[in-house]
Amino acid sequence: MSEMSHIETGLLGCKTKQPLSFIVCGQFISRAGFIHHRRRFDENVLIMITEGTIYISSHGREHTVSAGQYILLPAGEEHFGFHCSEGRVSYLWAHFRTDCGFEAVNGSGDEYTYLLPEVSSVSSSGRTAQLFHQLMDMSLEENHYTKNMSDYAVSLLLMELSQEYFRSRDAGTNLPPLVISAREWIKNHYFLPFEVSELAETLGYRADYLSSVFKKNMGVSIVRYSNGLRIKTAKTLLSNYSVTIKEAAFSCGFSDEKYFMKVFREFEGMTPAQYKNSFGRKNIN
């Protein structure tokens, strides 16, 4: 199967028994007015947006990809920006090869080693961003990490995205419409301070009822789910040396820096400063 197989659906699968072959990765930052160049690579490209929005066309479809989302561009497919981004844009990128390529998937896709949407959101756990940054650290430390280790690191990153797809697919099938609506509202507003009562009023329910239904189906409270999204974004921001802890806190919906530091430690087992020191190295552009 060629690595240049034409993709016609939004779900991509790759059947392989071999690790992916890592090529290069880094971070791109643009302060304003970014539009993606027209390109066609012989390798696959994974882009994860950490700030702003990019507008990119691939195999005849236009995609709007925003912070907290990724896009997978299969090898051999031409892609280009179709609209100029407004404001600051930042994203992580990685190039890699496969021995049998990605193809369009119909059905469950359980036979694929890697199975993921071409465009989707990353989970609120923050694990994907951590794996991405670990891959970037490995690519910089050539004296300490072998090529094989980078291959396994990018493979683990794609496996994590595949698992995120399966988890969201399995969880989404049984969720009540109210919980799905609440979850989507939170994803669109988590970077702003809000009260549960505000969300409940927007959806037309009492706050206590919404809180009860949400926790019963999601396993966590609305506050903890929201904080999970905020901490995930904060971790991405903290990996950039130019962003202070206070700036990361306020950018992610925390109005109190001390509360942010407390929540961060609860989720990550370390302070924001410790995380910044551990995951702050990267290639720029």
Give per-residue pLDDT as tens, 168-184.
Answer: 776 655 678 888 889 88
In-domain check, residue 5: no
- Antiparallel, parallel or unpaired: β 114-117 and 61-66: unpaired
CATH number assigned to the domain comprising residue 182: 1.10.10.60
**pLDDT tens for each residue of 258-267:** 999 999 999 9
Query: Of 157, 172, 187, which residue is a domain's last?
Result: 172
Q: Using 50, 70 and 90 to split pLDDT, how confident is the model at 243? A: confident
- What per-residue confidence (pLDDT) applies to 130? 86
6 in a domain, yes or no? Answer: no
| Torsion of the alpha carbons at 115, 117, 123 and 129, rounded to the nearest 10 | 80
What confidence score (pLDDT) does residue 277 get?
82
* Span 194-206, pLDDT tens digits: 999 999 998 889 9
Q: Let me know whether 154 and 191 are in one domain.
A: no
Please tell me the distance from the alpha carbon of residue 158 to that of residue 109, in angstroms, as a whole number: 15
Domain of 184, in residue numbers: 177-278
First vs last Cα of the chain: how many Å apart? 33
Query: What type of residue is 264?
Result: F
144's tokens: 């300490």
pLDDT in the model for residue 188? 83
The answer to whether 123 touches 160, Cβ cutoff 8 Å, is: no
Q: Is residue 245 part of a domain?
A: yes
Cβ burial of 242 (10 Å; 0-12, 13-18, 19+) is: exposed
Count how many domains the chain has: 2
Assess contact for 46 and 72: CB atoms under 8 A.
yes
- Confidence at residue 201, expressed as pLDDT on a 0 to 100 scale: 92
Indicate if 115 and 29 belong to the same structural domain.
yes
- Residue 221 CA to residue 228 CA, distance in Å, equals 11
The helix-helix angle for 196-203 and 222-238 (nearest 10°) equals 110
Which residues sit opposite 47 in a β-bridge? 71, 93
